[in-house]
Structure 1
Amino acid sequence: MVEASFTGILRTIIIVILVFYAVKFLLRLFAPVIVQQVVKKAEQNFYQQQQQYSQQQHNTNNKQEKAAEKKKVGEYIDYEEID
């Protein structure tokens, strides 16, 4: 059976602490850049969705106008009653 030595445990704890602080430091450096990229991507997606929505609205308005134009059969004549 292998027993853990005190220096081995101490060395492992020190390595874990150093890795923790290194990751924490790197996140503080790169987190603003990552957040900026995420926000920019979300903004682009939102803009694209708005463009698609406005195009769909424009297309449906055109279809409705064309359908309304087809229903015209002739002129409307207003008749007056003669006493």
Structure 2
Amino acid sequence: MLQYASLTGVMKTILIILLVYYGIKILSRLFAPALLRYVTKKAEKQFGQQFNQYNSRQEQTKKEGEVSIDKMPNSKSSNKTVGEYVDYEEID
């Protein structure tokens, strides 16, 4: 059985779609700033906690005036077969 869409049914559908679209658009303009503020405050709090944990960990391991070496430099042996070093002076 074949059914045809009536003009009023099509108009109602288009009207409902437009109302939903503009309703979401208006509500997002009202609630988006509050939502963004909430998200930024939450992220700021989380980053602050991570920063404090990092600082407290460093304070526990290092006392004032104490020197620590994290990585020893690789000892490079000079290659004597490269050539002779010649001292020079710059002439103006």
> In the alignment, what sits opposite 2:47?
46
Amino acid in structure 1 at the alignment position of 2:17? V
Aligned runs of 1:6-17 on 2, under 5 Å? 6-17=7-18
TM-score by length of 2: 0.63
4+ long deviations beyond 3 Å: none
> In the alignment, what sits opposite 2:69?
none
Higher fraction of helix: 1
> Number of matched residues?
63
Aligned runs of 1:4-43 on 2, under 5 Å? 4-43=5-44
TM-score by length of 1: 0.69
1:18-62: per-residue Cα shift (whole Å, max 9, x none)? 110011001111111001101100110111011000011112215
Distance in 1, matches of 2:33 and 2:17, equals 25
% identical equivalent positions: 48
5+ residue gaps, structure 1: 66-83
Distance in 1, matches of 2:61 and 2:25, equals 53
RMSD, aligned α-carbons = 1.3
> In the alignment, what sits opposite 2:60?
59
